[in-house]
């Protein structure tokens, strides 16, 4: 008999992926160079500056930037990989981003992204799972396991010239909406063994890490929501 369940990292990754905006593409027109107009089934809240992944059903192009939004469900994208786009059928936003690591390693990964403009613009909003993870597996309860504590951070870049009031009224509404959607998606995940609500501690971190210069975990000016999920139960599916 083997264990056919999902790891908590993959469960959270799936929940984050479900938050990304998706669209059907019905037309692709070359404007000039590697800039294209796409006709979508809806604008679906894309914004100028968003990065999206396009697909023709076989190939994917993950480095496309929205440069304009036109009437009639049209967006203009620039393919930064400098390849021609033909027969595109779907578009999906790259954000929110997901990663899992220790703070020191994550800080290094984010710094590496700063070396390329297109990567520098694809750092936030970030849903970050802090490692390590301790799982309690009991022989007399083969259908589920229990994870003691999981620390998840929802992180968004902020303006270090703005005060707390501005961040509360401008930055945190976006983070709180992301929190609501993420928690709902996690609760609805098939592998989460929960009746109706995931119990957790919730903490808003204004200008995370700036209380002490040595505490800045990501080397960027950011606001964050810290979630501490306790006693999360994961279904363990057994396959003979």
Q: Tell me the per-residue pLDDT of 129-146, one tens digit each, with 9 for 90 and over.
A: 999 888 776 655 556 677
Which pLDDT value is given to residue 149?
87
Tokens, residue 135: 């799982």
Percent of the chain with pLDDT over 70: 89
Tokens, residue 150: 């999981």
Percent of the chain with pLDDT over 90: 53
Which pLDDT value is given to residue 150?
92
pLDDT tier for residue 37 given thresholds of 50, 70 and 90: very high
Rounded Cα–Cα distance for residues 196 and 148 (Å)? 19
pLDDT at position 214 over 50: no
Q: Are 126 and 97 in contact (CB under 8 A)?
A: yes
Compute the residue count for the chain. Answer: 240
pLDDT at position 85 over 80: yes
Domains and CATH numbers, the chain: 2-16+97-239 (3.30.70), 21-93 (2.40.10)
């Amino acid at each position: 008999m083997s264990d056919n369940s999902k790891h908590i990292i993959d469960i959270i990754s799936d929940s984050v992926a479900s938050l990304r905006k998706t669209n059907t593409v019905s037309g692709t027109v070359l404007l000039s160079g590697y800039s294209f107009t796409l006709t979508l089934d809806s604008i679906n809240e894309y914004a100028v500056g968003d990065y999206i992944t396009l697909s023709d059903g076989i190939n994917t192009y993950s480095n496309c930037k929205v440069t304009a939004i036109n009437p009639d469900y049209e967006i203009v994208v620039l393919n930064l990989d400098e390849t021609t786009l033909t027969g595109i059928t779907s578009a999906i936003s790259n954000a929110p981003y997901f990663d899992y690591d220790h703070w020191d390693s994550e800080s290094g990964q984010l710094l590496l992204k700063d070396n390329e403009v297109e990567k520098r613009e694809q750092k936030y909003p970030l849903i970050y799972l802090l490692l390590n993870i301790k799982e309690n597996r009991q022989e007399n309860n083969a259908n589920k396991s229990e994870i003691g504590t999981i620390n998840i951070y929802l992180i968004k870049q902020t303006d270090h010239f703005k005060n707390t009031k501005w961040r509360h009224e401008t930055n945190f509404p976006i983070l709180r909406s992301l929190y609501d959607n993420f928690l709902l998606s996690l609760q609805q995940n098939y592998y989460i063994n929960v009746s109706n609500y995931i119990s957790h501690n919730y903490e808003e971190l204004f200008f995370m890490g700036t209380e002490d210069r040595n505490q800045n975990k990501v080397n960027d000016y950011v606001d964050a929501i810290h979630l501490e999920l306790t006693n999360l139960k994961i279904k363990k599916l057994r396959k003979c």
